[in-house]
């Protein structure tokens, strides 16, 4: 097996690690630092459209699987 894993984009991971919540109670907080219950609330209610929704879906997977420690070193 050679090359990066499919779907693994380093630039996208750095962008995800540095993405912040743009609104609400947790406005300004890094998405990776959102409480899991808050992210799961979005999962149940429906993610926002666009890039934020995609990022929250990814964060939900990361938090659910306990992988947030992989994103934290990428925060600038």
In order along its 76 residues, the chain shows pLDDT tens digits of 444 445 568 899 999 999 999 999 999 999 999 999 999 999 999 999 999 999 999 999 999 999 999 999 999 9
- What pLDDT shows up at residue 27? 98
- What pLDDT shows up at residue 1? 40
- What pLDDT shows up at residue 9? 85
- What pLDDT shows up at residue 8? 61
CB neighbour burial string for 10-34, b if at least 16 within 10 angstroms, e if fewer: eeeeeebbebebeeeebeeebbbeb
């Amino acid at each position: 097996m050679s090359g990066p894993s499919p779907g693994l984009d380093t630039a996208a991971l750095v962008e995800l690690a540095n993405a912040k919540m743009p609104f609400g109670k947790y406005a300004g907080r890094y998405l990776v630092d959102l409480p899991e219950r808050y992210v799961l609330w979005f999962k149940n209610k429906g993610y926002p459209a666009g890039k934020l929704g995609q990022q929250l879906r990814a964060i939900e997977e990361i938090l659910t699987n306990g992988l947030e420690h992989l994103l934290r070193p990428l925060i600038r």
